[in-house]
Every structure is written in C-alpha cells, then in structure tokens.
Amino acid sequence: MIRINEITDKVATYIDKPDLELIQKAYIFTAQAHVGQTRLSGEPYLSHPMSVANILAEMNLDEATVAAGLLHDTVEDTKATIEEIEGLFGEEVADIVDGVTKISKMSFESKAVAQAENIRKMILAMAEDIRVLMVKLADRLHNMRTLDFQPSVKQRLISQETLEIYAPLANRLGLHRTKRELEDLCLKYLKPDVYEQIDQGVASHHTSGQAYIDKVTGLITEMLKENEIKGRVAGRTKHRYSIYTKMLQQDLGLDQIFDLIAFRIIVGSLKDCYAVLGLIHSIWKPVTGRFKDYISIPKANMYQSVHTTVIGPDGERIEIQIRTEEMNKVAEYGVAAHWQYKEKGKKGSNRDAERFTWLRQILDWQRDLQDPREFMASLRIDLFQDEVYVFTPRGDIKELPEGATPVDFAYAVHSKVGDQCAGAKVNGRLVPLGTPLKNGDRVEIITDSHRNPSRDWLKFVKTARAKTRIKQYIRTEERDRSISLAREMLEKEGRKLGVNFLKAMKDGHVHKLAEELSCSSVDELLSQVGYARLTPRKVLQKLYGMLHVGEKMPDERKAPEPVPLTPAQATEAAKPKKSEGIKISGVDDVLVRFASCCNPLPGEPIVGYISRGRGVTIHAADCPNLKELEGERMVSVSWDGVEDKPYPAKIRIVSRNFKGALSQVTSLLTSDDVNIHSGSFQSNVDGNAVMEFTVEVTNLTQLYGVLDKIRLVESVTEALRVS
Ligand code: MN
C-alpha cells in the first residue's frame, strides 16, 4: 500500500507552500472511517482511497482534490456524513466529495450505448466542479486496475460502462494517458483472448521499446535541422485498444498491423509538410498504398494531416503523420469537432462541441500554470448548468433546459403523454406539475385520458415543444368554442329575423355562403363569426337573400312569443350551492347561490350580487337583470378552477314531432354524462315538438359539446341554450 508521505511528497513537488496538513488530516479521517473494511483483494479498504489520492497527485491536482480523493468513499460506504466532512475539511473539499458520491450512487452499467452521450453530459452537469470529475476518473482508474478480484460478470459490466462513459470523458478532458489505460483495461476484460494476443505481439516486436522511439525521434530531428525546417517530433507506441480497433475497422490480423509505433512531426507551414514528406521518403522507403494526403482532402471532421508508412532504420514499419501547428490544434481540440461530425444532424451537438473544446483548453492552461490552486478553485463547470438530465421510469435519460418541469418532461416523452398529463412523481413522490426538475431525478408521469392541456401550464413550462403543443391545444379549443358560440348566436338571431339557421345549414345554404365569403369551410365561416370578424347580422342578411331571392330582409321581425313556462320549469330554480367553485375577492366562506335568471356556467364571465340575508348571488356578466340591481352591492367574483361540480343550464330543442323524438334527445344527453334535472315536452300544432330541459353540466364546453351533437340529429331544427 502507498504511504501517505509518498503522496504529500509528490504534492510538495508541484505546489509552492502546500497545505499538507489538510491531506494528512483527511488520511487520518479516512483510515478511521474505513477501519475493518477490506477490498475483495483482501487488502485493507484504505488502500483504495490512498491509490486514488496518489493518481490525483500524479495529475498535479491541488490539495483539496487530493484530500477529496482520500475521502471520496467515506460518505457512501461508512458512517461519516457530508456535514462532518464540511465541518472538518471545509466546504470546498465537502463539495467535491458530495459530487463524487452523487455520481457514484448512479449506476449506468446496463444502459444502452445510445444513452452514453447523455450520461456523459449528465455526469458533467452533476459534477459542477471539474475536480469532481477528476476524482471520479481516478476512482474508476484504480477500480479498473484492480478489477481482477471482481466476479467476471461484474468485470464485464464495469468494463462496458468504463468504455462507453468514462474513457470518452477522459478523452474529452484531454486526459489521454488515462483514456488509453482505461481502454486497454476494458479490452483486457471484454476481449481477454484478443488482449493477450496483442499484448504478446507488442512485446515480441523488437521496435516497440522507448529506446527505438528515441532513436527514430533523434534521426528525424536531425534531418529537420539539416534542412533548416522548424518543427518538433513525438513518438509513441500505439495502445492495445487502438490496435484492436484498427484490426476491427480494417479487418486485419495482428500480423498485418506492422506500424505499432507512430511518429508525429509538427512543422510551421503547409509547404514544410510536403518538404518533410519528401525528405522522409528519401531516407526511408515508403510502403505502397499507405500514403494518405488528408491535407488536400481533409476528413469530414476537418482533420488534416499527411500520413505515410515507411520501412524504418531497423527494417521495421513505422507510421508517420505530418501536419502544421494549426492542423494539430484541430486534431487535438477537434475531439470536439470529431464528436460534432459523428453526431451531425443532432441538434445542440455543435454547442456541446464548443463547450468541450473550451473545457479542454482550460485544462491545458492548467497544466502550464505555476500554481494549480489559483486555477482549480475558480473553475466551475458551469458549461452544462443550463441543462438538466433526468431519468424516465425505464432508466432512459432526457435532456431538458434548466428549470424544466414534469410537464416539459411529459412532452419530451410523447406529445400525448404531455396532453394527458394529470400528475407527476419525482423520485417516487407526488409533486406539483410546475416543480423544477433536478439532475438525476427519476420522473414518472401520471396520465389521464380525460385530461387536457391547461393554460396555466404556460406559466411554467420551459421547452418550446411543450409551449407549442399547449398553445396549439388552446387555440383549437377556442376555435371549437367560438364555432359553438357563433352557431348559437346565428340561431338565436336568425329566429328573430326569420332565418332558420340550422335548416339552412342542413340544406347546404350555409356551405354555399361560406364559399361566397371565401371561407374554406362552414366551420371557418362560423369561427369568423365567433371571433367577431364577421357579424351574425351580415351572415344572416346574405343567407336571407339566398333563401328569399329578391326580397330584402326585414329589419327585425317580432320575436316569437315566449313559450309559456311549464310547471316543471316553474319549480325549477337555482338551488343554493356550496361556495366551492367560486372565488369572491377578499371574502371566504360566503353562501353562494346561482341566479335562476341566467344560470351562469363555469368559464363564463360572472358578477356577484350581495343580496340581503341570502349571501351572494352569481349572475352572468351580461345578465339583463343586473342593470336593475344596485351597483354598490356588486362584487367581483371568479371561477375557482373547480369545474367538476355540476351546474344547471337550460336548453331548448325543437324537433319534428314523432314517436321517439324525446328519447332520441334524452339518450344523447345521458350518453354525454349530462344529467337531466327537469324537463318539459310540448307538441305544437305545426307538427313540431318543443323540449326544454334543465341539465347539469360541469362547464360550457360540455354544454356546447352536447348541443352540437343534438343539432346533428336529422329531425332537430333548433338546439339552444336559453336563459
Ligand atoms: Mn471509490
């Protein structure tokens, strides 16, 4: 096991006047917390946080990060609490430990590859502080190094997760060594036979050693100098996983992959690239078919470079890449550009690419800084803070903008789920629909096929998708309502002017009129009236002209005599109801009754009138009786959004009188869940039947909905709400 002194000594080499006490204190705390715990290897558990801290020191990270590395498993695996850690080590260390704990609690092992990118972003969003990510990567690296002791099923799961999530994360952060080691270890556990084969192949390759790399690097440097070309050379042995992907991509056996060593020459200008290429080819024989000019024909991801494979000084194949500084930057930081290329067509990936480039760049600066502390302490990864990542019940991840709510989530799942969203559970608990979601939340939507989008949702939804859908619904609903209203107006007004609108509609006259007025349909014409773009009078005048060619519509006919009240109607009066459903400004718990003259329905504009000793009477705002009441006793009232209590409404239906006419209408009413409170039926000498009902409806939409249905009945000539 590593000793704590080795770690503190390491830190002292790169930090001026380091706070080693913090690290030592963390060491003591961790040793006590994990006491008695062992790893699967049989070693004391303490060896793990020690190794993680050591990896972090090797990465030249600050004292807070190294201390957090020591403490990283205490909250999850021991009795220690985050408050305790904050008390002893301060907020900075506690925040890092907390971040690591949060990420560790999440298991991404079994998630589909398709989710990998979202998981990476979720981890970044949760990390908040880049140091959290560093500790997590060091943790994973040490766990991968000691994976031998895990059962083989676990080995595969952890390796798969590492390959899909953590190695790409390390790569994006520019931690190439970490990435390569992680990938090689993954290969070892996922494809043990391939790994073994490559391992032996590399070992037996006599040109794979560092000495050989130094020798070739020296020769190239010399050559550049002699030809007065400014440039630098770097060589490396390809790592096993990259050899494996090459074998896979090009369908080659290991014996066909000779260039296990690659050199990169970076020069000052484009001209020099080709000059160096010529020089290389003049001293070492090029292998035919291995020369690729990505400078004149860049790869789709903007990658530019000249590649060639030559027979090197010891008769071995070596790969050489030549490019300019600028091309190198694209190749290096272009991991982002690379990502962008792979995900092209996917919205937002361009912005993501920029953020990752930025993240890498700042990490590169960090390496050049004298004091890692000044940099680390100030660096927050707020790059992904304007997004939240949440889980579906099935474990898929949805990306949403910051502040998004369960309704946004519901629409992100499916527009139907959004439309019928009736409630939401976050992490198993019911929450209001407007609750902002947090990273890692598990969200479940409760749907109800009777529910519809609400205008109130617009106050809190964040996604354009949700907004559009809700507005669209409201618009359709308003249009439907305006059509119903228009019909009612036209029928009522038509009666006064001697035009039977319903009949005119059935006979196709309204359709013709709609065409004449360049409306695309009858509904369009009606909605024009409903939205007051056309007056009912104008429509009726035209209709009258069609029905009575040559005649002018009389200004106003005498309205027909009101139908005498039947006994049932007479007894019908609005019953006092509980005040639920009505909000009276400033007053609570007042006896409320609905005026029998106008029987207002939820959704309609209303006015309250304080009647002596009888509480507040609710009238429709346009009730003619209001004019005769005292103004001072009016109070402003509104519907409280409770729409499931039934309210009475009077309707009048005129139909041809035949056997079954009444039951036809009543069955329509009941099939729509409309309760008939009372009613009357009267047959007239003209062969028509007049039916009047007081029905109980929960809102205007329901009332107009059922009236629309009744109007469709062949024998019905009139179906109206009456007051
Ligand atoms: Mn750990």
The secondary structure of 118-183, three-state, reads HHHHHHHHHHCEHHHHHHHHHHHHHHHHCHHHCCHHHHHHHHHHHHHHHHHHHHHCCCHHHHHHHH
Predicted local confidence at residue 201, as pLDDT: 78
Predicted local confidence at residue 577, as pLDDT: 37
Q: SS3 for 83?
A: helix
Active site residue 493: no
CA of 30 to the centre of ligand 1 (A): 12
Helix (H) or strand (E) holding 430: strand 429-431
Active site residue 86: no
CA of 136 to the centre of ligand 1 (A): 8
Comparing C-alpha atoms, which of 526, 524, 515 is closest to residue 488? Answer: 526
Comparing C-alpha atoms, which of 164, 165, 181 is closest to residue 59? Answer: 181
Sign of CA dihedral 31, 36, 37, 41: positive
How far, in Å, are 92, 455, 472, 473, 528 from residue 478 at the CA level?
54, 11, 10, 8, 12
Comparing C-alpha atoms, which of 648, 634, 651, 671 is closest to residue 602? Answer: 648
CA of 22 to the centre of ligand 1 (A): 20
How far, in Å, are 296, 595, 717 from residue 674 at the CA level?
76, 21, 21
Helix (H) or strand (E) holding 264: strand 261-267
CA of 100 to the centre of ligand 1 (A): 9
Spatial distance between the Cα atoms of 272 and 498, rounded to a whole number of angstroms: 95
CA of 316 to the centre of ligand 1 (A): 43
Predicted local confidence at residue 171, as pLDDT: 77
Q: Across the strands, what pairs with 267?
A: 231, 324
CA of 349 to the centre of ligand 1 (A): 31
Tokens 């939409």 belong to 701
CA of 355 to the centre of ligand 1 (A): 28
Predicted local confidence at residue 112, as pLDDT: 56
Predicted local confidence at residue 276, as pLDDT: 94
CA of 48 to the centre of ligand 1 (A): 7
- Residues near ligand 1 ion, CB 5 Å cutoff: 73, 139
- Which 8-state DSSP code applies to residue 38? B
CA end-to-end distance (rounded Å), the chain: 90
Mean pLDDT for back-to-back runs of 10 residues, the chain (723 residues): 93 86 96 92 94 91 92 93 95 92 73 65 71 90 94 91 85 79 94 88 68 89 93 85 83 70 90 93 88 83 84 84 83 44 39 57 55 48 66 83 92 92 88 88 88 88 89 83 80 82 87 88 85 79 81 56 43 38 54 75 78 72 80 71 68 85 83 81 83 83 82 83 77
CA of 200 to the centre of ligand 1 (A): 31
CA of 77 to the centre of ligand 1 (A): 9
Tokens 């035919």 belong to 288
Q: Which of 6, 76, 325, 673 is catalytic?
A: 76
Predicted local confidence at residue 347, as pLDDT: 40
Q: Which of 77, 399, 441, 672 is catalytic?
A: 77
Q: In what order do the strands lie in the sheet with 421-426?
A: 429-431, 421-426, 443-447
Q: What contacts 172, CB < 8 A, 6 or more positions away? A: 120, 335, 336, 339, 356, 359, 360
Q: What is the pTM of this model?
A: 0.56
How far, in Å, are 56, 173, 250, 366, 535 from residue 9 at the CA level?
13, 26, 47, 21, 89
CA of 49 to the centre of ligand 1 (A): 6
The β-bridge relationship of strands 231-237 and 285-286 is unpaired
